[in-house]
Amino acid sequence: MHELSVIASLFDTLLAQAKAHKARAITMVKLEVGALSGVVPELLESAFEIYKKGTIAEKADLVIDRRPFEVRCRACRAVETRSDFILACPSCGSTDLEIVHGTELVLQKIEAETE
């Protein structure tokens, strides 16, 4: 439910990047969104559509790269993609896990029209 504040924070970065690269318009914005990031991609898309009006990104498309939740077991080194959030290794039961993917909420790249 806090997708609008995430998008507000995204636009701070977009405007700074546009200025630094002397962009006239931003045409594409690509995000990485993990399954465990706590945000819903569809709501990010809605918030982006609302927020972009009247900005340098008015005509930009939002592309979301969804990253699954993936853990690596420090005991048996197995890497598993999980559909739930259970923090125990399905192979050996160890609880010493490292999250490989799934918490991402990253601005990966921007495509812009320049002078």
Partner 1 sequence: MPKKDILVLQDLLLSNAQAAAAIRAELEGRGILAVNLMSSPGAGKTSLLERIAERTAGGLKIAVIEGDIETERDAERIRAKGVPAWQITTGGACHLEAKMVGRVLPSVPPETEILFIENVGNLVCPAGYDLGERLRIVLLSAPEGDDKPKKYPQAFATAQTLVLTKADLFPHLPFDPAKAKAEALELNPKLEVFITSAVTGEGLDELVAHLRRKREEILGRA
Determine the interface stretch with partner 1 among 35-43, 45-53, 55-63, 72-80 (rule: CB under 8 A): 35-43
Nearer to partner 1 among residue 36 and residue 67 (C-beta): 36
91 binds partner 1 (CB under 8 A): no
Q: Does 61 bind partner 1 (CB under 8 A)?
A: no
Q: Put residue 33 in one of left, alpha, beta given phi > 0 → left and psi -120 to 50 → alpha.
A: beta
Note whether 31 binds partner 1 by CB under 8 A. Answer: yes
- Do 26 and 101 contact (CB within 8 A), yes or no? no
105 touches partner 1 (CB under 8 A)? yes
Query: In a 3-state reduction of DSSP, which class is residue 113?
Result: strand
C-beta of residue 73 within 8 angstroms of C-beta of residue 91: yes
